[in-house]
Amino acid sequence: MDVISVIRAKRDKQALTDDQIDWVIDAYTRGTVADEQMSALAMAILLNGMTRPEIARWTAAMINSGERMDFSTLSRPTADKHSTGGVGDKITLPLAPLVAACGAAVPQLSGRGLGHTGGTLDKLESIPGWRARLSNAEMLDVLNSTGAVICAAGDGLAPADKKLYALRDVTGTVEAIPLIASSIMSKKIAEGTGSLVLDVKVGSGAFMKTEADARELAETMVGLGTDHGVRTVALLTDMATPLGLTAGNALEVRESVEVLAGGGPADVIELTLALAREMLDAAGLKDADPAKALADGSAMDVWRRMISAQGGDPDADLPTSREQHVVTAPASGVLTRLDAYDVGVAAWRLGAGRARKEDPVQAAAGVELHAKPGDEVTAGAPLLTLHTDTPDRFGYALQSLESAYDIAPGGTDFAPRPIVLDRIV
């Protein structure tokens, strides 16, 4: 077997054989296949796709590249959630402790930012002392003591995916549906959760721009989960507009704490509760009331214990940027569009994301929104505030915002899209 033959086969729109898939995943994990060769194969997959049997075999090969975790010793049913990535998508932060407060165990393996979308681990690392990397024993201990853990996948869990995930981010192949589906599901199946809820984003700020593509991805992942004995459901959710009022690491942590404290933006609360209900239902806890757990402070209690258990200080001040730049509304009227992708790119350019897999991120960088579509705005009033520690980034970030929003005359009717667009089982 040789990698050139595998690349050529997919380049020429052929279906890869089981042996080819098993070999190339194993060889890439061991370092026999170089990054540039896997980049070429990933691009061929992006352009030419994979059949369902190919995706299933690719996912199985990723799982078999490492270990599997076992949560059978826990006294609670397990439920996990995964988002395909969006702008301002801080939902995991309030969701994990909320579901744990309702009686489930939430083993949340999360990732870094991909392109214009933020990463949960990058956000949480803005909390002083917080650790993303835990051993399997530490992860189980945090789950037992708090009911929820948010951490990086260990080196032994789907190591093939860890290498490929980072490579996709810097080679323009993030959007490949077979690679997204196999990446997500290989980790989740190897993780050993009993049930899984997928938040599949749709819109400009998502990797899936159309509902048809998002539905294809959701159906692929639900099928993979079901075939491996994991009860899996997916929600298609809107990502035409950023979630909440912030996009950036420390900015989103601050907003998540506001939600746990009983405040925060309505769209973040709505989606958090919708996903919590799905997770609890999948875990067999249909009678639990996540809205009550959010209102009575029990979710906040779990958050504080969870952050502390991973070395973080829940009372510490979060980083703030050294420089800010305010974008004002050019006219008065109704904000009818605020493009999620453009805002995500601006946050990325300000330092909240990375251009190469080795790049650090700025904890305090990002974009703060002062209005959402449907809101009345006044000419000259703040519309967006850009945050960064390196002010020479402002010009490049502002370029991405030049056509990011529309303002219609006052009194214009505006009907926002629902946050949850569909449910896939």
Q: Which residues are identified as catalytic?
A: 82, 161, 168, 183, 187
Total count of residues recorded for the chain: 425
Residue with tokens 């912030």: 246
C-alpha 110/C-alpha 67 separation (Å) is 17
Q: Are 324 and 138 in contact (CB under 8 A)?
A: no
Asked if 73 and 188 count as a contact pair (C-beta separation under 8 A), the reply is: no
Whole-number Å distance between alpha carbons of 184 and 193: 13
**Lookup: tokens for 351:** 């330092």
Contact present, 249 and 126 (Cβ < 8 Å): yes
Q: Please give the distance of CA 356 from its chain centroid, rounded to a whole number.
A: 18
Q: Do 331 and 379 contact (CB within 8 A), yes or no?
A: yes
Q: Which residues of 358-379 are buried (b: 16+ CB within 10 A; e: fewer)?
A: eeebbbbbbbbbbbbbeeebee
| Burial degree of 213 (CB within 10 A; 0-12, 13-18, 19+) | middle
